[in-house]
A and B are shown apart, each in its own frame.
Chain A
Amino acid sequence: MVDVLLARYADCIFWLARYIERAENLARILDVNETFSRDSRGGQNWRSIIQLNSDEERFFAAGSEISAQSVLRFYVVDADNPTSIVSAIRSARENARTLRPLISTEMWVQLNVFSNRLAALGVADLAPGRLAALLTTIKEACQTHTGITEGTFFRDQGWYFYQLGRYIERADQTTRLLDIKYHLLLPDVADVGSPTDVSQWNALLRSAAGYHAYRRLHAASTTPARVAGFLLFNQAFPRSVHHCVRETGRLLGEVKSRYSLRGGNDAAEELDRLRAVLGTLTIREILSEGLHEFLDVIQQQLIAVSRDLSIAFFGYQPDAAQAQTAAAQ
């Protein structure tokens, strides 16, 4: 009886993982941005976060102007903004509520308490002196969730769909981070080699928790190509696109064979192709063809994988799956 998983539950657990991963990434980006944006390019940095999430329309519709204050409010505490941290955690908590028969009590309690605490936050909590501590708390709460899940979640089908959601979201987040920051940070002639330039690239690495790992590999130099290559390809870095795609493919193959699931072949093929591309192209080739175009193709393929999973395992009709993945991106 334990090897049966409701299609609806698979959908919920997949998205639970995605919401948490998304909230953690957003907290990382805001945290790093807050620390490194107190310079001449500060305003541009806050704008890039809005672009990163394709939220220009919604942000400006509310009549807001770009400032540290307005962007932070929009992304941390604004419950009406579906891409805010508070919304992501609320959605994760709603999914967890549905999933209570499946997930561990510890997972539910931590998310319930976390969500209640975030819902009580106000603008005052975003004041410069308190923000860093708040974002650290959020990041750590997401990591606590991950740790509790690792230590308590029963390893049956549900666990596989959770992991699939996590890795797909993480790959997507890394491509988005790189996409926006890379173009923003392409050096002005005046900035090349300047301390500002290097600290911005370091900030990008810190957003992805890759700074120290990168240093171990390339102690001497921080170049745009090397940073991009590291975030895309490094097999040992847990947030690199290649690593996430490889894990997604492995997990999908494993869940299919272990539980004799017939569906999901389209997604598996899609992931194979993606892995082949990431395994053969060099960063030099990609940069000469255009990084943005390359990242866009990867994002489209990740969306296709997500849609294939929705149809194969979550019980969506093809047109509904299309609408659902589009709305959630």
Chain B
Amino acid sequence: MGRSILDGYDPHGFYCEMLASQASAAVRERLSRLSIDALKERAAAANAELYNLGITFTVYSDAKTIDRILPFDVLPRVLSAEEWRHLETGIVQRITAINLLLDDIYHDQRVLADGVVPADLILGNPNYRPEMRGVDLPHKAYVNICGTDIVRDEKGTFLVLEDNARTPSGVSYVVENRHMMLRAFPDLLDDISLRPIDNYGARLIAALQEIAPPGVADPQVVLLSPGTYNSAYFEHVFLAREMGVPLVEGPDLVVEDESVWMRTTGGLARVDVIYRRINDDFLDPEAFVPDSMLGVRGLMRAYRAGTVALANAIGTGVADDKAVYAYMPRVIRYYLGEEAILHNVPTHICREPDALQYTLDHLAELVIKPVGEAGGYGITVGPKATRAELDDCRQKLLADPANYISQPCINLSVAPTLVDGRIEARHVDLRPFAVTGSSTWVLPGGLTRVALRRGSLVVNSSQGGGSKDTWVLG
């Protein structure tokens, strides 16, 4: 092998997704045929194309709206067939347990009676929806679309960081990134048996049809979006197109006779399944936040009457709560009689006095997270925080301990990334997407997010993160 663009690349002692993997040898070999200039040129063209295609998310700052692309790094993250099998079985196991947990807490509540999870943690959780008590769902499938955030530590062990069981986003970037790679780097992809991902829409609509109310032939599926001003609007467009279903907004729908209808040019047309990208709170002003302009009045009535299916179900947010997350290994053991295939990051639940004390004593070594926030907001990374930030965090912890968990700082794995015309190590995570109807299917790979700032561990798109194409080989 001649001089490669990876010569001189230094992972600084972190686990490197590219160098540590035997599976990526073929990719490294193909990369070595490229010059850094060619790589830069193709990367710039790819990012310009993403902008022109409008594959953007919207950022709101100072009352201005800005369309941004999720910066795309052209160096792929590679997973071997063995690594993927491990991840896939672990994710399926986890989602199976989460759906059993949800069915239980909205019916018999055995898990609470048996003391596996504290009752007040579930029943006192703002995302627990008493409206769901006694509602029977087809296949007991509550979480139909799940995005599981997974990281890798310095030994290369996969750890689950978070379950996103409400309305996880990002799958559109996975598929669009791949399209981009196929166009920009056909030479890189040549003959390496990469697993395809373009059947996501077909798998998704099949699962959504499986959860339709019993007896409906050829169910009408729609995607419900908050509208063009939502930051994930592109993804809603993407999903509606991939499934070939109407993209509706709240005012397009109406509930009559305990059923949901959409307003069309020919009058009202029946709706059987709604993939909703609106949070529970805003879904039905009659049942939840009364002044919501986004939802559909009476939707909860229709849902309880069983005339319409929602994906995900109402009330799944309790299962991806960061405090409930800490109990997941026990939940898996309780329902399935198995050990968790994918481990959690060790988690201190600050509502418990011992854990709070430990957290306060080791603040500078830990990552402290509010349990209710999403998108990386409100996180304090101890080793990177200033004294003032640590003091501020301590105050917040003492004021409301139950709102926080803490975890050791994981030395996230890195991957070679094109930054300012050079190839440098940047931290990455992984969000695979799983689709559940009568069974669970996991899209090979998932969204690899990369923290583009040097040394940063925060990969969220709202916090300066980018993405990579994730390749499952073999």
Nearest CB in chain A to that of B234: its residue: A100
The answer to whether B252 and A6 have CB atoms under 8 Å apart is yes
Q: Is A226 an interface residue (CB 8 A)?
A: no
The answer to whether A109 and B52 have CB atoms under 8 Å apart is yes
Cβ–Cβ < 8 Å partners of B265 in chain A = 5-7, 10, 157, 161, 259, 261, 263, 313-314
Cβ–Cβ < 8 Å partners of B233 in chain A = 97
**CB proximity to B under 8 Å, residues A255-271:** 259-263
Shortest distance from the beta carbon of B56 to any chain A beta carbon, whole Å: 10
- Given A4-B269, A109-B53, answer yes or no on A101-B264 (Cβ-Cβ < 8 Å): no
Cβ–Cβ < 8 Å partners of A100 in chain B = 54, 237, 241
Residue from B220, B241, B244, B264 with most neighbouring chain A CB atoms (10 Å): B264
- Given A97-B54, A101-B241, answer yes or no on A6-B266 (Cβ-Cβ < 8 Å): no
The answer to whether B263 and A105 have CB atoms under 8 Å apart is no
Q: Is A192 an interface residue (CB 8 A)?
A: no
Q: Is A247 an interface residue (CB 8 A)?
A: no
Q: Is A8 an interface residue (CB 8 A)?
A: yes
Task: Tell me the bound Cα distance from A245 to B383 in angstroms.
Answer: 72
Q: Is A94 an interface residue (CB 8 A)?
A: yes
Q: Is A229 an interface residue (CB 8 A)?
A: no
Shortest distance from the beta carbon of A259 to any chain B beta carbon, whole Å: 6
Q: Is B249 an interface residue (CB 8 A)?
A: yes
Cβ–Cβ < 8 Å partners of A314 in chain B = 265
The answer to whether B266 and A261 have CB atoms under 8 Å apart is yes
What number of B residues sit within 8 Å (CB to CB) of A? 25
Task: Tell me the bound Cα distance from A98 to B251 in angstroms.
Answer: 14
Task: Tell me the bound Cα distance from A109 to B237 in angstroms.
Answer: 14
The answer to whether B246 and A6 have CB atoms under 8 Å apart is yes
Q: Is A112 an interface residue (CB 8 A)?
A: yes
Q: Is B267 an interface residue (CB 8 A)?
A: yes
The answer to whether B263 and A6 have CB atoms under 8 Å apart is yes
Q: Is A113 an interface residue (CB 8 A)?
A: yes
Residue in B53, B54, B220, B264 whose CB lies within 8 Å of A7:
B264
Shortest distance from the beta carbon of B218 to any chain A beta carbon, whole Å: 8
Q: Is A323 an interface residue (CB 8 A)?
A: no
Task: Tell me the bound Cα distance from A262 to B268 in angstroms.
Answer: 12
The answer to whether A1 and B244 have CB atoms under 8 Å apart is yes
Task: Tell me the bound Cα distance from A259 to B264 in angstroms.
Answer: 11
Nearest CB in chain A to that of B262: its residue: A6
Cβ–Cβ < 8 Å partners of B252 in chain A = 6-8
Q: Is A42 an interface residue (CB 8 A)?
A: no
- Given A6-B252, A113-B52, answer yes or no on A101-B266 (Cβ-Cβ < 8 Å): no
Shortest distance from the beta carbon of B276 to any chain A beta carbon, whole Å: 16
Nearest CB in chain B to that of A309: its residue: B265
Task: Tell me the bound Cα distance from A82 to B220 in angstroms.
Answer: 39
Cβ–Cβ < 8 Å partners of B218 in chain A = 1
If over half of B's interface residues share one DSSP class (helix, strand or loop), that class is named, otherwise mixed; here it is mixed
Q: Is A315 an interface residue (CB 8 A)?
A: yes
Task: Tell me the bound Cα distance from A135 to B37 in angstroms.
Answer: 38
Cβ–Cβ < 8 Å partners of A9 in chain B = 246
- Given A6-B246, A98-B228, answer yes or no on A260-B266 (Cβ-Cβ < 8 Å): yes
Q: Is A167 an interface residue (CB 8 A)?
A: no
Cβ–Cβ < 8 Å partners of B247 in chain A = 101
Q: Is A75 an interface residue (CB 8 A)?
A: no
Cβ–Cβ < 8 Å partners of B246 in chain A = 4, 6, 9, 101
Nearest CB in chain A to that of B241: its residue: A101
- Given A100-B241, A101-B240, A259-B266, answer yes or no on A6-B248 (Cβ-Cβ < 8 Å): yes
Q: Is A108 an interface residue (CB 8 A)?
A: yes
Task: Tell me the bound Cα distance from A105 to B49 in angstroms.
Answer: 12
Residue in A1, A98, A113, A315 whose CB lies within 8 Å of B263:
A315
Residue from B220, B245, B247 with most neighbouring chain A CB atoms (10 Å): B247
Task: Tell me the bound Cα distance from A35 to B220 in angstroms.
Answer: 56
Task: Tell me the bound Cα distance from A251 to B252 in angstroms.
Answer: 25
Task: Tell me the bound Cα distance from A215 to B267 in angstroms.
Answer: 48
Task: Tell me the bound Cα distance from A156 to B248 in angstroms.
Answer: 18
0/1 string, B259-279, CB within 8 A of A gives 1: 000111111010000000000
**CB proximity to A under 8 Å, residues B210-242:** 218, 220, 228, 233, 237, 240-241
Task: Tell me the bound Cα distance from A261 to B265 in angstroms.
Answer: 7
Shortest distance from the beta carbon of B360 to any chain A beta carbon, whole Å: 49
The answer to whether A108 and B248 have CB atoms under 8 Å apart is no
Residue from A2, A105, A112 with most neighbouring chain B CB atoms (10 Å): A112
Chain B residues packing against A (C-beta within 8 Å) = 52-54, 218, 220, 228, 233, 237, 240-241, 244-249, 251-252, 262-267, 269
> 6 closest A-B pairs (Cβ-Cβ)?
A101-B240, A100-B237, A313-B265, A101-B247, A7-B263, A5-B265
Chain A residues packing against B (C-beta within 8 Å) = 1-2, 4-10, 94, 97-98, 100-101, 105, 108-109, 112-113, 157, 161, 259-263, 313-315
Instruction: A8-B249, A261-B266, A263-B266 are known; give 15 further A-B pairs, CB within 8 A.
Output: A1-B244, A4-B246, A6-B246, A6-B252, A6-B265, A7-B252, A7-B264, A97-B233, A100-B241, A101-B240, A101-B241, A101-B247, A109-B53, A161-B265, A259-B266
15 A–B contact pairs at CB < 8 A?
Answer: A4-B262, A4-B269, A5-B266, A6-B264, A7-B263, A8-B252, A97-B54, A101-B246, A112-B53, A112-B54, A259-B265, A260-B266, A261-B265, A261-B266, A262-B266
